[in-house]
Amino acid sequence: GESVGLHLPTLSVQEGDNSIINCAYSNSASDYFIWYKQESGKGPQFIIDIRSNMDKRQGQRVTVLLNKTVKHLSLQIAATQPGDSAVYFCAEIGGSNYKLTFGKGTLLTVNP
């Protein structure tokens, strides 16, 4: 079946370093992608999104890169802070399917 998955389930970085969280997707019809941040016991919080007509999009301290050739998505966080510690999910939607499909998530831990 089609799925969205993550290369690394956990990532530990030092405060101030840049973080890169990766995501692979298998549905070639996917044309819209969202990154969410989820802190413990809370609902997912929107970070940034990207459509398939773009290969890069930047927000505040975050950049999403989309490589449609290899069906890979990444989230880059600049100058990672302790408050960035959370689980990060990528989600995708494509074709006539109106449902978001979520990956399992990556736990980011920022060490002071």
Partner 1 sequence: DGGITQSPKYLFRKEGQNVTLSCEQNLNHDAMYWYRQDPGQGLRLIYYSQIVNDFQKGDIAEGYSVSREKKESFPLTVTSAQKNPTAFYLCASKTGGTAKNIQYFGAGTRLSVL
Minimal distance in Å, beta carbon 3 to partner 1? Answer: 10
Sign of the CA dihedral with 51 first, then 57, 63, and 69 last:
positive
Least distance from partner 1 to the Cβ atom of residue 31, Å: 7
Output phi, psi for 84, to 5 deg.
Answer: -85, -10
Nearer to partner 1, 77 or 103 (CB): 103
Instruction: State the Cα–Cα distance between residues 94 and 112, nearest whole angstrom.
Output: 39
Q: Is the Cβ of residue 51 or residue 56 nearer to partner 1 in the bound state? A: 51
- Interacting residue ranges for partner 1, rule: CB under 8 A: 31-32, 34, 36, 41-46, 49, 51, 89, 91, 93, 98-100, 102-105
Closest of 103, 107, 110, 108 to residue 34, by C-alpha: 103
Q: Give the shortest CB-85-to-partner 1 separation in angstroms.
A: 16
